[in-house]
């Protein structure tokens, strides 16, 4: 029975939570709390499958932790949310589709650079008290400096193009910036593949689908397990948001405040959960590279799509968000260059940056 326990448990939890979800808005706080717990279990189960599959695939390909986190894990978790602006452009209402798309495009790297870093900081603190370790992440210094340098340059380019668009209606700058970002990401990808592994790097020895379901230890099954884990993470995150929304509305929580607090938390949840899991296991390079690698991807591919297929026009709040991402990346780069580690309080500052943006955005409404 133990051998076939993985799929039935996750599927059963998902089906039960879906059957009860229609009752959430009209149910007691106790039932909503139970549904939240079920949604969380589904997310955590999916996270473990994804992380284990990604690690197994990275080990099979002989990739460093930096490459596995920045490429395999980061792109895998970023691709689904990248579909949001694409779907918005294809199916959204004519007067709203471009605004929704641009907001989703710029919101992704910002949420990763602020809230995701904040949760990593909290995780480091928890790890310190549970395992008596240092209250800091110790990543691959060379890889992190390269990634943060890329983020600073990319976000600065986006800021400049956005300023130009405020003064001109021409599209030349948009097309040039999109081409530059796409070419830069190709360079980033090839350079990251060549990152050398550090001596202490270890991958998961047990392949979950191999242990519990008898799947062979082959690359395609590693990738299949990671895809299944990602599907469960996304399903769990969707359920989590649904139940949190029901709880907030039942409590009379303002819809505007709800959108600012819940939606950003949910859209980048896969990256957050994976990074938290890896940080708790002491795999600091994987934990941080998963976030910074996703930031690189989101600042390159989706932004290029936005520049090519929208009338790129953003307001003061979005410009503030871009500058805060540059500030956070600069802070990470300077700290790791000087100290060879990232203390918890540097990571927690991401929460302060998010509050600055929130105050700015609310003031403009």
Which DSSP string corresponds to 252-295? T--HHHHHHHHHHHHHTHHHHHHHHHHHHTT-HHHHHHHHHHHH
Provide mean pLDDT across the span 116-124.
95
Whether residue 58 contacts residue 278, with contact meaning beta carbons closer than 8 Å, is answered with no
Is the per-residue pLDDT at 271 higher than 80? no
CB 279 within 8 A of CB 137: yes
Among 23-32, 73-82, 151-160, the range of highest mean pLDDT: 151-160
The residues, ordered by sequence, that sit 6+ positions from 46 with a Cβ below 8 Å of its Cβ are: 10, 228, 229, 230, 231, 232, 233, 234, 235, 236
159 pLDDT more than 80: yes
Reported confidence tier of residue 228, pLDDT bands at 50, 70, 90: confident
175 touches 308 (CB < 8 A)? yes
Which pLDDT score is estimated for 337? Answer: 96
User: pLDDT band at 288, cuts 50/70/90?
Assistant: very high
CA Rg value for the chain: 20
Please tell me which residue, 275 or 84, carries the higher pLDDT value: 275
Banded model confidence at residue 1, pLDDT cuts 50, 70, 90: very low
pLDDT band, very low/low/confident/very high, at 260 (cuts 50, 70, 90): very low
How crowded is the C-beta side of 148, counted as CA atoms within 13 Å?
23
List pLDDT tens digits, range 17-27: 555 555 555 56
- The residue that leads in pLDDT, 89 or 9, is 89
| Residue 201 pLDDT greater than 70, yes or no | yes
Half-sphere exposure (Cβ direction) of 278: Cα atoms closer than 13 Å: 34
> Structure tokens of 92?
């959204």
Q: What is the DSSP letter of 343?
A: E
pLDDT at 15 over 70: no
Residue 259 pLDDT exceeds 60: no
Residue 267 tokens read as: 């859209």
For residue 60 the two structure tokens come to 């099979």
Stated length of the chain: 365
- Contact between 21 and 243 (Cβ < 8 Å): yes
What domains does the chain contain, in order, with CATH numbers?
Answer: 2-364 (1.20.1420.30)
Q: What percent of the chain is modeled with pLDDT above 70?
A: 81
Residue of 359, 265, 317, 360 lying closest to 103 (CA atoms): 317
φ/ψ of residue 313, rounded to 5: -145, 120
Report, as an integer, the average pLDDT of 339-363. 90
Percentage above 90 pLDDT, the chain: 35
Residue with tokens 């940056």: 353
**Confidence band, pLDDT 50/70/90 cuts, at residue 108:** confident
pLDDT higher than 90, residue 150: yes
What per-residue confidence (pLDDT) applies to 2? 43
Give the pLDDT score at 139: 94
Least confident of 41-50, 150-159, 327-336: 41-50
Report residue 210 as tokens: 């191999």
């Amino acid at each position: 029975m133990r051998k076939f326990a993985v799929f039935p448990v996750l599927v059963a939890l998902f089906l039960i939570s879906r059957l009860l979800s229609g009752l959430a808005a009209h149910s007691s706080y106790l039932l909503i709390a139970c549904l939240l717990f079920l949604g969380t279990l589904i997310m955590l189960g999916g996270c473990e499958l994804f992380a284990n599959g990604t690690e197994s695939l990275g080990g099979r390909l002989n990739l460093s932790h930096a490459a596995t986190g920045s490429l395999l894990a980061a792109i895998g978790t970023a691709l689904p949310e990248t579909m949001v602006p694409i779907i918005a452009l294809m199916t959204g209402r004519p007067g709203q589709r471009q605004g929704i798309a641009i907001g989703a495009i710029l919101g992704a790297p910002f949420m990763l650079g602020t809230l995701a870093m904040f949760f990593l900081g909290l995780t480091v603190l928890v790890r310190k008290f549970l395992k008596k370790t240092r209250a800091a992440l110790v990543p691959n210094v060379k890889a992190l400096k390269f990634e943060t340098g890329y983020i600073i340059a990319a976000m600065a380019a986006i800021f400049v193009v956005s300023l130009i668009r405020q003064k001109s209606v021409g599209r030349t700058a948009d097309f040039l910036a999109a081409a530059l970002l796409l070419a830069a990401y190709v360079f980033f990808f090839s350079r990251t593949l060549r990152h050398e592994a550090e001596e202490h790097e270890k991958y998961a020895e047990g392949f979950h689908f191999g242990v519990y379901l008898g799947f062979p230890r082959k690359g395609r099954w590693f990738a299949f397990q990671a895809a299944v884990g990602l599907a469960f993470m996304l399903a769990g995150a969707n359920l989590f948001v649904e139940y949190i929304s029901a709880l907030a509305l039942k409590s009379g929580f303002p819809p505007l405040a709800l959108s600012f607090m819940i939606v950003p938390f949910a859209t980048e949840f896969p990256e957050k959960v994976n990074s938290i899991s890896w940080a708790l296991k002491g795999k600091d390079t994987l934990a941080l590279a998963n976030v910074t690698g996703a930031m690189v991807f989101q600042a390159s591919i989706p932004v290029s799509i936005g520049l090519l297929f929208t009338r790129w026009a953003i307001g003061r709040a979005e410009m503030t968000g871009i500058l805060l991402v540059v500030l956070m990346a600069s802070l990470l780069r300077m700290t790791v260059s000087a100290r060879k580690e990232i203390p918890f309080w540097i990571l927690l500052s991401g929460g302060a940056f998010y509050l600055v943006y929130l105050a700015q955005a609310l003031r403009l409404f």
